[in-house]
Structure 1
Amino acid sequence: MNKTKILLVDDEVSLRETISELLIIQNYNVKSACNGQEALDFLEYWIPDLIICDIMMPVMDGSTLLELIKDNNSLNSIPFIFLTAKKENNLMRKCLLDGADDYIAKPFKIRELISIIESKIERFEKIKNSHSNLYLGKKKVFLHEINTPLNGILGPIELLMENQEKLDKKEISAFYESIKISGERLNRTMQNIIFYQNLKNNSIEFDPNSSSEILNAFLKTKEKIFKIYEGQEKRISFEIDKAIIKFSQEHLEFIFFELIDNALKFSSNNKIIIVSGEQFNNEYYELVIRDFGIGLSEQELNKIGASQQFNREKREQQGLGLGLFLSKIIIKKSEGVFTIISKENEGTTIKIFLPLYKNYKS
């Protein structure tokens, strides 16, 4: 049985270590951070069942951390308990109005903390079970992403059944291709949702001995992408050096597909996408994906998360907004480094440092 995961955030070292040890004795899986920024770094690849957080901390305080978490669709349902030594009559009310689930003042008894933790975890489990864990973001967007490819399958099938004697081979082939593309889109949507839930539950194992050749992974992905973006092969300019990366082939192709698909999707048809890759040093391979599309503002970059989309109606997005988020988590969990620089109406540059396989020599 998986242990309940708790993220403890406090800048006081002795108190943080004491609480952490006590919670571990109570059979909880605990990670600790010294401020809000360090907590956010953990949350990029490790999703807890509960967060316990001090209010007053350097770098990023607890209130700022709570605000960022509540603005993130993949994190905002996690129970959040404030822990503080401040003595203000209205502080508890303020914490709860800000979105915290509870508040406990220092000093406190461990039984009191455990009791609060148990009640909040029980509530969180009920919320997760009631939503079946299979729904992200706005309901109308979710339904659109299921119904559109489903109609793209059922519609052509109905036409084929009604007109099978009237259609020639070329027309039938076109219908089959349309059905296949819609089926792949639906499959991709469902697989991404399942993948997200498994990552959220920390149930995906990342084999440290996995390896794959990066140019081969790119070429296979490029072939898949242009089955969707038919006739747009010249839009990708690439120069990728061969190398063995410490990634599974599946995960590497997933990252390529999602990031290049986003770059194509958010750029006009006359704009190229530049993909380059070369060995950075003895430990890392540098991969860069650059587009000259609509870009993102600084505020939007700070809000990247599961199911997060920006101006969907204006930008005519397809998908649930999971691709970038999942790619980022895979890279982090595989000991890689992910950075993104973007500017509205100028484009986006994603730079990734992927660990080289230990037996690889350039």
Structure 2
Amino acid sequence: MKNKILFVDDDLNVRETITELLVYKDYDVRTASNGQVALEVLEYWIPDLILCDIIMPIMDGNVLHDIIKDNHSLSSIPFIFLSAKSENFLMRKCLLDGADDFLSKPFEIDELLKVIKTKIERFEKIKMAHNNLFSGNKKSFLHEINTPLNGILGFTNVLINNEVNLEDSEIQEVYECLKISAERLNRTMQNIIIYQNLKNNKLEFRVTSNSEILKIFLNVKEKLLHNYKNQKTRISFEVDTASIKINENYLHFILFELIDNAFKFSGNGKKIVIRGKCHSDEYYELIIKDFGIGFSEDELKKIGAGQQFNREQNEQQGLGLGLFLCKFIIKHTKGVFSIVSNINKGTSIKLFLPVNN
């Protein structure tokens, strides 16, 4: 499998020249003209190394590097600065800020290739040694595995030890609890598998995929209302039928994660509003809105794999993977994902999903 490099530089000639060289050396290369474009690429494509100019319009290299450092799923990617400015203080600042290397333009091609090879080899060793998203967040990881597992074992023991004494209604209630615990554990493991496949570039996105969104939505709604007892009146929905260019499993995953989040972060019986309709011949518009705790602008910028906010305060379940994976899948299927949120006022997620004509 080819190693992936993201090259960020506002000079078109430099981008084309370096890209041609790296492709010739059998690297998979994506380019961006500034930091903002680079962030858009990183939403659906995770490289093994980032080469970045410093002085660029819209968003320069330093700002991009700061954002990446604060993103749990991107912070370990080797980041190499390239700059026409070669002052020692600038190089020192970049390295002290956490960059992996600094090359002054013009640089020798052999030097660039050697640095790239060395940094990627080191990154591969790190990934092999810590091939788990949650190596730095073991407490949350173990909690999300042990809690449903202990539930399964505990309820199983209840059945084994009290089978004769339990009423039929009590046995049915235990079965329901067993199912909820098993589904929670299964969801956690499936999210981890999807993320690992994402990291290893093994997720498949077929252009011929199609899903009936109303059918998938009604299936998701039924499953969620089974988990959230007596909360049927919380959901207000109006979802038109349409054929979406996304695999059924992916669309089910997206709807389940986003609507489940709306439930989790808007308690006390607050409404969840879901609206879906064809926006144009090319896109279907889906809006999921809650009136819950909301997120700050700074928190929204840091959404990434494994990123959670105020877990203890909000009694938040999950590993912080769902929203990140939803964004990734939607971007990769040529859709558009946007989120607007305000503290204590709620969150509105808008999706534009490609349709089959």
Q: Aligned partners of 1:330 and 1:136: how far apart in 2?
A: 24
SS at match of 2:140: helix
Q: Paired residue for 2:60?
A: 61
Q: How does 1:226-241 map to 2 (within 5 A)?
A: 226-241=225-240
Q: Paired residue for 1:77?
A: 76
SS at match of 2:88: coil
Deviation at 1:202, TM superposition (A): 2.0
Q: What is the letter of the counterpart of residue 319 of structure 1?
A: G
Are positions 1:126 and 2:137 aligned together? no
Q: Aligned partners of 1:288 and 1:202: how far apart in 2?
A: 29
Q: What is the letter of the counterpart of residue 197 of structure 1?
A: Q
CA deviation profile, 1:58-98 (whole Å, cap 9, x unmatched)? 11111111111110011011001111110212222211111
**Equivalent pair of 1:293/1:348 in contact (CA under 8 Å):** yes
Q: How does 1:48-197 map to 2 (within 5 A)?
A: 48-135=47-134, 138-197=137-196
Q: Paired residue for 1:206?
A: 205
Deviation at 1:210, TM superposition (A): 0.7
Q: What is the letter of the counterpart of residue 276 of structure 1?
A: R
Q: What is the letter of the counterpart of residue 144 of structure 2?
A: E
Q: Aligned partners of 1:269 and 1:206: how far apart in 2?
A: 39
Q: What is the letter of the counterpart of residue 228 of structure 1?
A: N
Q: Paired residue for 1:286?
A: 285
CA deviation profile, 1:145-187 (whole Å, cap 9, x unmatched)? 1111111111111122222222122212211111111010001
Deviation at 1:103, TM superposition (A): 1.0
Q: What is the letter of the counterpart of residue 357 of structure 1?
A: N
Q: What is the letter of the counterpart of residue 147 of structure 2?
A: T
Q: Paired residue for 1:245?
A: 244
CA deviation profile, 1:21-67 (whole Å, cap 9, x unmatched)? 00110000001111111110000000000001011111111111111
Q: Gaps spanning 5+ residues in structure 1: where?
A: none
Q: Aligned partners of 2:355 and 2:89: how far apart in 1?
A: 53
Q: What is the letter of the counterpart of residue 245 of structure 1?
A: I
Q: 1:288 to 1:137 in 2, by over 3 A?
A: farther
Q: Aligned partners of 2:317 and 2:117: how far apart in 1?
A: 40
SS at match of 1:207: coil
Q: Aligned partners of 2:293 and 2:124: how far apart in 1?
A: 40
Q: Paired residue for 1:347?
A: 346
Percent of aligned pairs sharing the same letter: 63
Structure 1 residue runs of 4 or more that deviate by more than 6 Å after TM superposition: none
**Equivalent pair of 1:275/1:290 in contact (CA under 8 Å):** yes
Q: Paired residue for 1:215?
A: 214
SS at match of 2:337: strand
Q: What is the letter of the counterpart of residue 246 of structure 2?
A: F
Q: Aligned partners of 1:89 and 1:247: how far apart in 2?
A: 50
More deviation, 19-28/87-96: 87-96
Q: Paired residue for 2:334?
A: 335
CA deviation profile, 1:207-234 (whole Å, cap 9, x unmatched)? 1111111111100011111121111111
SS at match of 1:338: strand
Q: Aligned partners of 2:263 and 2:34: how far apart in 1?
A: 38
Q: Aligned partners of 1:136 and 1:252: how far apart in 2?
A: 29
**Equivalent pair of 2:134/2:306 in contact (CA under 8 Å):** no
Q: Aligned partners of 1:181 and 1:292: how far apart in 2?
A: 26
More deviation, 133-142/52-61: 133-142
Deviation at 1:100, TM superposition (A): 0.5
Q: Paired residue for 2:325?
A: 326
Are positions 1:33 and 2:38 aligned together? no
Q: Paired residue for 1:24?
A: 23
Q: Aligned partners of 2:86 and 2:77: how far apart in 1?
A: 26
CA deviation profile, 1:284-326 (whole Å, cap 9, x unmatched)? 1110101000111111111111111111111110001111111
**Equivalent pair of 2:133/2:306 in contact (CA under 8 Å):** no
Deviation at 1:264, TM superposition (A): 0.5
SS at match of 2:324: helix
| TM-score, scaled relative to structure 2 | 0.98
Q: Aligned partners of 1:236 and 1:162: how far apart in 2?
A: 39
**Equivalent pair of 2:270/2:291 in contact (CA under 8 Å):** yes
Deviation at 1:199, TM superposition (A): 1.4
Q: Paired residue for 2:270?
A: 271
**Equivalent pair of 2:285/2:351 in contact (CA under 8 Å):** yes
| TM-score, scaled relative to structure 1 | 0.97
**Equivalent pair of 1:136/1:306 in contact (CA under 8 Å):** no
Q: Aligned partners of 1:59 and 1:299: how far apart in 2?
A: 19
Aligned-residue Cα RMSD (Å) equals 1.1
